[in-house]
Structure 1
Amino acid sequence: MSVAITTPDRRYIVVRERLWRRANPDLPETCRTALVKRLMTARRGVKEAKQSERAGEPSAADALASARAEVDAAKIALGERGPVWWTDGAPDFNRHLVRNTPYAAWFAALSAGGPEPR
């Protein structure tokens, strides 16, 4: 498993040249752990609902919608979606291609062999 590249301000990870918002680092560890557990349970629910849908079960669509709502709620609680968790007024670039953001020069230097963020 590779280590995620994190932006210098620690707000995002870069996956396939796209920024993804990190969880709020100010969450207490016990809270973060519980929320991650909740997220993973919800993701398993999405997988199971999709399998049920493929099997033609009549309640699969409702189960899928419910599981996806649980995933969304967990991500919002973690700070990965919804209102940003930083307070300096900087805009949110979640899901943007890194080349179309203020992080473009940093990422280009990194891709060209520049120093990695700490």
Structure 2
Amino acid sequence: MAEETRSAQESERWLVIKGRRWRRTDPALPEELVAALKSHLGRGRSGVGAGKKTDDAERVAASRRRVGLAKTGLGERGPYWWELPEARRIAAAEDALAELDAMDDTDESASQ
């Protein structure tokens, strides 16, 4: 029975794709928060690709920072989400989103 419980916990925490283990998104995060963070994640990944194509090292670095913040907010990087209290995890994700949104504000004012 203990082995079944451990296996269930492992499948809630990790995802295996092509033999590689990836940490899952924190299931306690509200859907709208996850959606916003995943939007930033996609934009960051797209920015990395675009920056590499144009040899824009600054864009690649900023985009990688966006990816890192989004993945940390989702619980996919940083401390293991299952080892932290739920309220702290949600607050950390909200902080990451606020930082990402602030990056957008800085980007918009720099381009004007």
Q: Give me the TM-score of the superposition, normalised by structure 1.
A: 0.61
Unaligned runs of 5+ in 1: 1-6, 54-59, 89-118
Higher relative contact order (CA 8 A, sep 6+): 1
State the partner residue of 1:50.
Answer: 52
Q: Displacement, 1:15?
A: 1.2
Asked whether 1:86 is paired with 2:82, we answer yes
State the partner residue of 2:19.
Answer: 17
Q: What's the secondary structure of 1:13's corresponding residue?
A: strand
Q: Displacement, 1:27?
A: 0.2
Q: How many residues align?
A: 76
| Higher Cα radius of gyration | 1
1:17-36 equivalence runs, <5 A: 17-36=19-38
Cα distance in structure 1, aligned partners of 2:46 and 2:61: 13
Asked whether 1:38 is paired with 2:40, we answer yes
Q: Give me the TM-score of the superposition, normalised by structure 2.
A: 0.64
State the partner residue of 2:8.
Answer: 8
Structure 1: 4+ residue segments shifted above 2 A = none
Q: What's the secondary structure of 1:25's corresponding residue?
A: coil
Cα distance in structure 2, aligned partners of 1:61 and 1:36: 23
The one-letter code sitting in structure 1 at the alignment partner of 2:74 is L
Cα distance in structure 2, aligned partners of 1:15 and 1:8: 17
Cα distance in structure 2, aligned partners of 1:62 and 1:36: 22
Please give the per-residue CA displacement for 1:29-71, whole angstroms capped at 9, x wherever unaligned.
0100110011001111111101111xxxxxx111111111110
Please give the per-residue CA displacement for 1:62-91, whole angstroms capped at 9, x wherever unaligned.
111111111011000000000111038xxx
State the partner residue of 1:76.
Answer: 72
